[in-house]
Amino acid sequence: MASMVEDSAPTPAREGDWAVGTPVQGEERQRPLWQVSVNGQDVTGTLGRHLSSLTLTLPLEHSASTLDLVLADNPANPLELPALDATLEIALGWDGGVGGAILYPLGSFTLSALSSVGDSKTGCTLKLSATSAAHSGTSSGAMPTQGQQARSWLAGTTIGALVGTMAQELGLKPAVGAQLAEVALPHLDQVNESRLSFLQRLGRQHDATALPLAGRLVFLARGTGANASGQELPIVALEAAQTSHWELTRSEAQTMGTVQARYHDVGSATTHVVSVGEAKPAGGAAGSSGTGGSGTGGDDQPKPAFIINRTFRTKAEAEAAARAKLNELARQKEQLKLTLPGAPEIASGTIINLGASFRPAVAGLWQAGTITHQLDKKGGFTTILDQCKRPNQAPSMAATLSSAAVDSILQPASQRPVPPR
């Protein structure tokens, strides 16, 4: 039986820092490198003789990162398989170019599934599937972020303090964006809800990404190009010749002129509507404060409004939720997919600046979404940047992010004027 650790030797390469990154342009890349360890033991030498394909998927938020290894097996001398729950560490890189060989560590994964397939033509293959360690289950089968809890958070608790408390409970380090850390929250109830579900709900209200990543509990503003430590990632410049394929999708299906959210003012016993975007007072409003746009399109016809179907407790909550939804809808108007030679130094969330060699609609700033690295037994190494969206600093997002809020009192239906017939 072939051991997973036989004949393994460390790959002669220096370690790259994905948080700093190396610009893709100008590098001479000759031979892809990869390194896998199982429970701290380097098994690259053994797997290298059996590897059919390696696929590493790194989403920007919500979902767990995944690692899939497909290995050719010999029933006469089968590979000794690692145990489920084994820890796999993966690094990818290139040999050749300035500075010699370089490897980028891309995370720790917990082996979650093993499958063996026999075929009369292709022989036997093994597939090892692993998920990022922070999302992986314990021996009891539950992820540490999954356990449901019931508790309350006092009014005035900051986002930084809340995330810090949860991170400590999970044995993770907190990573909270500077612009969010000091935001004071109203009274919040966590009722039979997991920590991660609660944080993601809070993130949606504040246009933030919330997930465990690289040993940290991350809570970062969307569209800012920061890594798991909260550090700003460098902008990576690309020209069309450095990519093998790109695909731009534009949709106006989600175009909304305004997003509206309600809150109830206990002191005056009135319900208010906060509108952001091309804002006008909501229908039935008796008056408004603040300034906003006209709420009309180029043909002077109002664009549709997206109405959040819940009533918040404060104006601040309602405005934060409305802005978060408006920003989300603005980012959904355009999505880009790029395929290029293996680029393990580009992390999810990295800001990509596409040069003038791309058509004007494609050029400019994008934020990398889900990143997929693929290696095959023939030495092919490609990176796919999918679900790329315009970041906050893109000109197309400027008007959305700077739009003022309009606060209107919602009149009861019985007091609203009857439209002319």
Residue 125 shares a structural domain with residue 35: yes
**Would residue 22 count as lying in a domain?**
no
Residue 245 shares a structural domain with residue 386: yes
Which residues are 372's β-sheet partners? Answer: 57, 384
The listed range with the strongest mean pLDDT (145-154, 176-185, 221-230) is 176-185
Residue 378 shares a structural domain with residue 242: yes
Residue 414: DSSP 8-state: G
Residue 53 shares a structural domain with residue 195: no
Q: Which two tokens stand for residue 181?
A: 């850390």
Q: Which two tokens stand for residue 369?
A: 């979404």
Please report, for the domain that includes residue 77, its CATH number. 2.30.300.10
**Would residue 106 count as lying in a domain?**
yes
Looking at the chain, the whole-number percentage of residues with pLDDT higher than 70 is 76
End-of-domain residue from the set 85, 105, 131: 131
Dihedral sign, CA of 167, 171, 177, 179?
Answer: positive
Q: What is the mean predicted confidence (pLDDT) over 168-175?
A: 89
Residue 90 shares a structural domain with residue 179: no
Residue 108 shares a structural domain with residue 171: no
- Is the model's pLDDT at 28 over the cut of 60? no
**pLDDT attached to residue 24:** 43
HSE-CB at 194 with a 13 A cutoff on CA atoms is: 14
Residue 154 shares a structural domain with residue 125: no
Q: Which two tokens stand for residue 250?
A: 């534009």
Residue 118 shares a structural domain with residue 162: no
- Is the model's pLDDT at 49 over the cut of 80? yes
**Would residue 267 count as lying in a domain?**
no
Residue 55 shares a structural domain with residue 115: yes
pTM score: 0.77
Give me Rg for the CA atoms of the chain. 25
- Is the model's pLDDT at 113 over the cut of 90? yes
Residue 240 shares a structural domain with residue 344: yes
Looking at the chain, the whole-number percentage of residues with pLDDT higher than 90 is 32
In this predicted model, what pLDDT tens digit does every residue of 256-310 receive, in sequence order? 678 999 999 888 889 999 999 875 555 555 443 433 343 444 445 556 788 999 8
Residue 51 shares a structural domain with residue 175: no
In this predicted model, what pLDDT tens digit does every residue of 317-350 receive, in sequence order? 899 889 888 888 888 888 999 999 999 988 888 8
Residue 104 shares a structural domain with residue 44: yes
Q: What is the mean predicted confidence (pLDDT) over 191-205?
A: 88
Q: What is the mean predicted confidence (pLDDT) over 352-372?
A: 94
What does the buried/exposed string (b/e) look like for 395-409 if buried means 16 or more CB atoms within 10 Å of the residue's CB? eebeebeebebbbbb
- Is the model's pLDDT at 85 over the cut of 70? yes
**Would residue 321 count as lying in a domain?**
no
Please report, for the domain that includes residue 353, its CATH number. 2.40.30
Please report, for the domain that includes residue 159, its CATH number. 3.55.50.30
Dihedral sign, CA of 256, 258, 263, 269?
Answer: negative
**Would residue 265 count as lying in a domain?**
no
- Total domain count, the chain: 3
Q: What is the mean predicted confidence (pLDDT) over 64-74?
A: 90
**Would residue 78 count as lying in a domain?**
yes
In this predicted model, what pLDDT tens digit does every residue of 378-406 receive, in sequence order? 878 999 999 999 988 888 787 777 788 89
Give the domain extent around 208: 148-221
Nearest to 388 by CA among 60, 121, 35, 82: 60
**Would residue 307 count as lying in a domain?**
no
**Would residue 230 count as lying in a domain?**
no
